Structure 1
């Protein structure tokens, strides 16, 4: 994974627009699911923070042929206290920003952690597709996030649930840089 940053504006916004169109086709075919099996589960991270899953979104089986895990984090501007609950309810409206991207299979939406960071934990079909999505999403998140708070990690060859099962040597960023996304034992 190279230096992180957004795609060029035109490229990113075209990708988001195409995602929107695909999402509405998926909705019309009833392909998008909101399973409850992970809702309420608390995930702890190696940096000492933790958050609960408040929603899961899945396309079809939710399993990728060329699996990778993508974890995205950001801090929202101007969202504090009771506004977090409002954001979690409103965030369902953000589904068209990701579910229609090529390679999306599933997402766990996490509440804000002790540092007010939100995380999305995805299973994606193909690491290049996951990276393209994360770099496109960056443009959208930059509109509402604290500058410098957007980060992502792509872990090739690992299913989301395997990454969530706990830390062990996996691909992706070096361990020191991975504390914000790597799950911790016993949480």
Structure 2
């Protein structure tokens, strides 16, 4: 994972706008689903934190042809204590900011961890598409996040659910950072 940075403002906001416009027909055709099977599952990460899945969003079957796992993290400004519950309820309204991006297949929404960081754990169709989405999303998240708290990791060739079942599948992408915030260690 090289240096991470957002897309240029204009390029990012055009991509977000196109996604927004694409999402509404998907919603109207009932292509976006909220499966319940993984809600409540807790994921532990190698940095010692853990978080509970509070929502899943999928498009169509939720499976990618060229799968990759994308993990995004951020820490919200001014959201503490009971405000976390409000954010989780409101976050459903953020669906138009990702579901229409090319390559989106599914997202696990994780509640804040012990360090108040939120994570999205996605299956994406194509690592380049996942990277473009993450770099576009950065501009949206920057409006509400603590400066320097936005990060992402793209793991090509690995389905998200396979990583959850067997975290060892991402060892080749782990580098020497044993405490990587994005590396799933186990599910509980």
For the aligned pair, the TM-score class normalised by the smaller chain equals over 0.9
Query: Bigger shift: 175-184 or 72-81?
Result: 175-184
1:32-181 alignment runs, 5 A limit: 32-170=32-170, 171-176=172-177, 179-181=180-182
Q: Is the 8 A contact 2:68 2:160 kept in 1?
A: yes
- How far off is 1:181 after superposition? 1.1
C-alpha deviations, 1:99-157, integer Å up to 9, x for none? 00000000000000000000000000000000000000000000000000000000000
- How far off is 1:186 after superposition? 6.3
- How far off is 1:164 after superposition? 1.3
Across the two proteins, how many residue pairs are aligned to each other? Answer: 187
C-alpha deviations, 1:56-110, integer Å up to 9, x for none? 0000000000000000000000000000000000000000000000000000000
Stretches (4+) displaced over 6 A = none
What is the aligned-residue RMSD (CA, Å)? 1.3
- How far off is 1:185 after superposition? 3.7
- How far off is 1:172 after superposition? 3.3
Structure 1 unaligned blocks of 5 or more: none
Structure 2 unaligned blocks of 5 or more: none
Q: Is the 8 A contact 1:166 1:183 kept in 2?
A: no
Q: Is the 8 A contact 2:48 2:179 kept in 1?
A: no
Q: TM-score, normalised by structure 1?
A: 0.96
Q: Is the 8 A contact 1:165 1:183 kept in 2?
A: no
